[in-house]
Structure 1
Amino acid sequence: MSARTGDAMNMQQMIFKPGRTESAGPWVVDAAILAGLIGLVGLVGWLALSAPQTVSGPEISLSLSSLPWYAAYSVARMFAAYVLSMLFSMFYGSLAARSRFGEVFMLPVLDVLQSVPILSFLPVVLLGFTAVLPENLAVELASVVLIFTSQAWNITFAWYQSQVTMPKELKEASANFRFNPWLRFRTLDLPFAGVSLIWNSIMSWAGGWFFLMAAEIFTVGHRDFRLPGIGSYLQEAASQGNVRAILWGLGVLVLVIVALDQLVWRPLLAWGERFKLTMVGSEEEPTSWVYDLLQGSNLLWAFHERVLVPAMEWIDMFIQNRVRPFDGRVEERAPLTWRSRLFMAVAGVFAVIVAAQALRLLGHLPSARWADIAVGLLATFLRVMAALAVAMLWTVPLGVAIGSNPRLASFLQPMVQIAASVPATAIFPVALMFLVGLTGGLNLAAVLLMLMGTQWYMLFNVIAGASTIPQDLKDTAVLLGLSRWTRWRTLVLPALFPYIITGAVTAGGGAWNASIVSEYVNFAGRNISTVGIGAIIAQATARGDYPLLLAGTMSMVVTVVLFNRLVWRRLYRLAEEKFRME
């Protein structure tokens, strides 16, 4: 092992709370793990042998024997989209946080991407894939892309937030140890963002389940692109009115969510405790029976020591020999280089060409429609702000309670995941039955649908922020005899501030997207709409009015980008300068 690699490991031991426990465990633990692996292999084999023939075609079987296979397909798509989201987030978020090019160009582009209503453009993406790829592969890729768009943005913003709010002394320590980019990423960037990434990963999976029905069923004109999965199973059961199949499908979905919580997320949260910035241990740390079981296994410990550790050392040496050595300076935002300026110039020329074509199309739009768009933007903006305000009112106190109390988290976290994963569009018709007859009923229903689809982004970010507050600061507040309000004002809210901003950015983008399905609905055989930019986009899509569709979509994107730039970006800068954990 090189001296620099050894320094990296020593630094990680000094900065972050160590999580290693006694490795010795009874032989029963090893036997249980081996039995679990054998059972997993057996389950995969059973699924492979019992796969129904209908899986390979567009027909979706509602038989119970198809459900395990469909669930496995859906989990595989979710996992592929999640891996793609993590790779994109770390690459894109790091560039955006460490260079003026990222701040000037990449963040606005990210604002545009997360505010574009992807459901409006997905048919174009799908048809583009089918033009160059085999149809089955094209449909699978389109499905993964849709799930990716529901997972990537909050992870990217969370990674960016961790990069810009990292304490300066940690950056100085990595500079003093002369870490190259790989060692800094592995020993500082990734551990510091660990807790936030875990909670946002949970939210990303919940958001992916939310979009699963749309991701597995595509209809473009008369072409029906369906994929086998639990989302398409539920959609088919709903279209046939098969209540029994709907209940079975929802039961399997809940079972998968609970299994992932117990087997993946709870162990990761317990393991992530070692990455908290704290001088003392928490009085109540997150627990996981799976994590305790794995830590007590001699078999896994031997695999870690004899396989994983040597493999990581080899990777460190391999990358170190190919990465330029660090010069020891504390990294700040890199200035704009000539390459960055050239890229921005080329992108600007491309944008001008696209804008010219768009203006030609917009020239066919009557001038009176622009007034309707302006009024619709204002109405939808007010609904989005109302949904965010309501979300903050209940998610901040509940998120702090869950993030500060592991016992409460172990009980409520699976329930929150299930609630966040239930498609709000499935509940919306029920709420509409009670609200449509009231004055302004669709206005209330639209705000409700925005709230149901976006409040979870806020909640999971608040939970992540509350769980990262150092225990020594909490103890100091208690010793000083601070009142509950004073503790919130001087400790809790300042610590949560960056996480609240991250949650608000992603929740706001989701609320704007939700306006398309909440402001224009088909109910009881008739179309019901209210004033809003979402209704304008939905009506233009239904009528094939492409100039109005382009004008409405671009107006929404410009509004979201301007608000993010003028409000959220300044609050991010405030969090970076004033509310970082020093």
Structure 2
Amino acid sequence: MNPIVVITLAVLATTVRVFGLIGLSILTGWLLGYLAVKDRVFENTYVSVIEVLESVPVISFFPVVLIFFIEKIGGPVGVELAADFLVFTAVVWNIWMGIYQAFKTLPNEILEVSQNYKLGFLERMRNIYIPFSLPRISANLFPSAADGFFYITVSEVISVGTTSYSTFGIGSVLQSFTASNQLNYVFYAMLIMGVVIVGVTLGLREFANYTVSKYALDTDTPITRRGRPRLRYTVRFSALLSRSAIQRLSSYTRRQILGSIRLRRGQAEEARHVVGGRRWSLVTKLVGIVILGLLVWGITVTLISVPTKTWMHDFANTPNIVVNMAYDYLRVGIITLVSLAITVTLGYLLAVNHKAERVGVPLIQVLFAYPAPLYFPLLFAYTLPGARSVFGPLTSEFYVILLGFISTFYYVFFSFWMGVKSIPHEYWEVMRNMGMGFIQKMRYIILPGTFPYIIAGISSTINSAWGGLMLAEYWPGIYDSHTLTVRHGLMKLLDVSTAGGDLALAAWASLIFGVVVAAYSILFTRRMLDLSRKRYVVEEGIYAA
């Protein structure tokens, strides 16, 4: 068959694979997100599991893939399911977190309406939860698609030691062309893939604009088409900001009286929902038991397959694992700070400038969606002399952090960008009428208003940086005879262990890593999301006015 036809079909197969699994992620995310906001115990487990699994690089799932899909199922079906599972782990976590964050920050007034109208589960999902989550989902479609394409060469071609497994897609086709030194077809593949990515990006951008204009509360048109300011909103907001202490106290007393009345009404309404609440409590417990059972099964299979002597040797390496993890957390911290600094400036400028947005957003999506193994070796070769003259002995650290930044920057960027676009129309009129400058807008409106988006984006940025670090910390033969590597790093340890077939050490290091990530999710992510719901749900300001 003509190589160009093969490339085209491979790109289409990969695109269908990525977006089919994104669709599965959304459907399951709606159900699990609803269960999480209805049950506190399930919520703690759910958020912790997402944080742990999102932080685990795609390559770390190879032991599960080898044991279950390839060895137990086997054949082309097993390899295809293994590839689908790896792609799923690359695209699902930030979508699940975005849906959970949307459900978590749903304004209380809307929830009260759903209770007063006695809406059932399907009616609540169709009329309230799903529409409210669509802007957050559209924000996460960008990084999910980029992540799916970014790791496609790892997902469609599974290599452990000297054994490789592959399924049809652009990842496997590119590796075949590279191995046979057919670099001209590699160029054609990158060109065709670029065209598809541009088309996908334009489609996702239009979908994002549609969801914001239709489903963001009190935002009837995109922020770049706001028309004339309406003074009445500015007067109302200014009055709220300038009320005296006595006025605020009287307002507080009035709210307390009204709140007590609503409480008495709500008690009768709550009694009607006791049976439904018990039913959902039972469902969440069953789902939790299933998830716990899967985790216990995976741990048991791993423990049985490894001799006790090997486990004792791996346990002795625990101090070394912790030191390597500390080095990587320092790298992740640098990546996160750089990403956030670029995001709050560039993301805001693109969100408020329609012409720049139409060019900038697709360009960022295309640049960050290209699989790094295709272009990063060329980037490394051309920039190595200059980087050495600037960074000296820290040259390897520069490239490791650069690749980590490329693999995760778009999470917080697209989340913040969509958060800015979702700020209700009235706030922009207030900022315009009060003549706020950039710093004032950021301090009083933009950053507080997008705080839930920022937290979700930072969480995904921190958790996803590990995949880029795993590619960069140990990359033998990246160009000619050069090897990109660092002295210390947990991801390097996992790379070397997996390449050498020492899956037990990789599993032990991943277990320790997972415990640290679980603690981080409970102490940081869940608390920040709770805080964002209590203080930073920008839509509730409209009801307060």
Please give the range of the TM-score, normalised by the shorter of the 2 chains: 0.7 to 0.9
Counterpart secondary structure, 2:106: coil
Aligned to 2:218: 278
The CA deviation at 1:223 is 4.9
For 1:452-474, what per-residue CA distance to the aligned partner results, in whole angstroms no more than 9, with x for missing partners? 10001111111110110011111
Say if 1:179 and 1:326, in contact at 8 Å, map to a contact too: no
Q: Is the alpha carbon distance of 1:71 and 1:267 closer, same or farther for their aligned partners in structure 2, counting shifts above 3 Å?
A: same
Aligned to 1:179: 119
For 1:76-97, what per-residue CA distance to the aligned partner results, in whole angstroms no more than 9, with x for missing partners? 2122212221122212222222
Aligned to 2:92: 152
CA-atom RMSD in angstroms: 3.3
In structure 2, give the amino acid aligned to 1:477.
M
TM-score normalised per structure 2: 0.80
The CA deviation at 1:102 is 2.0
Pair 1:388 & 2:342 matched: no
Pair 1:205 & 2:150 matched: no
Unmatched segments (≥5 aa) in structure 2: 227-268, 541-545
Aligned to 1:439: 393
Pair 1:375 & 2:315 matched: no
Pair 1:64 & 2:21 matched: no
Cα distance in 2 for residues equivalent to 1:441 and 1:421: 25
Q: Is the alpha carbon distance of 1:330 and 1:262 closer, same or farther for their aligned partners in structure 2, counting shifts above 3 Å?
A: farther
Aligned to 1:559: 516
Aligned to 2:403: 449
Identity of aligned residues (%): 25
The CA deviation at 1:555 is 2.0
Pair 1:406 & 2:359 matched: no
1:163 to 103, 112, 137: 103
Q: Is the alpha carbon distance of 1:282 and 1:78 closer, same or farther for their aligned partners in structure 2, counting shifts above 3 Å?
A: closer
Say if 2:407 and 2:467, in contact at 8 Å, map to a contact too: no
Q: Is the alpha carbon distance of 1:560 and 1:359 closer, same or farther for their aligned partners in structure 2, counting shifts above 3 Å?
A: farther
The CA deviation at 1:404 is 2.8
Q: Is the alpha carbon distance of 1:282 and 1:414 closer, same or farther for their aligned partners in structure 2, counting shifts above 3 Å?
A: closer
Counterpart secondary structure, 2:82: helix
Cα distance in 2 for residues equivalent to 1:417 and 1:436: 29
Counterpart secondary structure, 2:165: strand
Aligned to 1:417: 365
In structure 2, give the amino acid aligned to 1:548.
L
Q: Is the alpha carbon distance of 1:526 and 1:87 closer, same or farther for their aligned partners in structure 2, counting shifts above 3 Å?
A: same
The CA deviation at 1:361 is 6.0
In structure 1, give the amino acid aligned to 2:505.
L
In structure 2, give the amino acid aligned to 1:519.
E
For 1:223-278, what per-residue CA distance to the aligned partner results, in whole angstroms no more than 9, with x for missing partners? 54332322222222233333321221111111111222344542553354111212
Alignment length (residue pairs): 484
Counterpart secondary structure, 2:118: coil
Pair 1:531 & 2:458 matched: no
Say if 1:172 and 1:330, in contact at 8 Å, map to a contact too: no
Cα distance in 2 for residues equivalent to 1:551 and 1:65: 44
Unmatched segments (≥5 aa) in structure 1: 1-51, 53-60, 287-324
Cα distance in 1 for residues equivalent to 2:420 and 2:337: 19
Cα distance in 2 for residues equivalent to 1:376 and 1:482: 46
Say if 2:134 and 2:211, in contact at 8 Å, map to a contact too: no
Pair 1:513 & 2:479 matched: no
Counterpart secondary structure, 2:102: helix
The CA deviation at 1:143 is 1.6
In structure 1, give the amino acid aligned to 2:174.
L
TM-score normalised per structure 1: 0.75
Cα distance in 2 for residues equivalent to 1:225 and 1:522: 20
Q: Which range moved further: 486-495 or 239-248?
A: 239-248
Q: Is the alpha carbon distance of 1:547 and 1:339 closer, same or farther for their aligned partners in structure 2, counting shifts above 3 Å?
A: same
Q: Which range moved further: 350-359 or 521-530?
A: 350-359
More helix by share: 2
Q: Which range moved further: 356-365 or 262-271?
A: 356-365
**Bigger RCO (CA 8 Å, 6+ sep):** 2
For 1:46-98, what per-residue CA distance to the aligned partner results, in whole angstroms no more than 9, with x for missing partners? xxxxxx4xxxxxxxx7x223222222222221222122211222122222222
1:570 to 519, 527, 543: 527
Q: Is the alpha carbon distance of 1:564 and 1:361 closer, same or farther for their aligned partners in structure 2, counting shifts above 3 Å?
A: farther
In structure 2, give the amino acid aligned to 1:575.
S
Cα distance in 1 for residues equivalent to 2:274 and 2:219: 24
Cα distance in 1 for residues equivalent to 2:522 and 2:80: 35
Aligned to 2:56: 116
Cα distance in 2 for residues equivalent to 1:147 and 1:445: 25
For 1:90-132, what per-residue CA distance to the aligned partner results, in whole angstroms no more than 9, with x for missing partners? 1222222221122232221222221223313335414522445
For 1:343-365, what per-residue CA distance to the aligned partner results, in whole angstroms no more than 9, with x for missing partners? 86894997598497689466422
In structure 2, give the amino acid aligned to 1:489.
R
Aligned to 2:507: 550
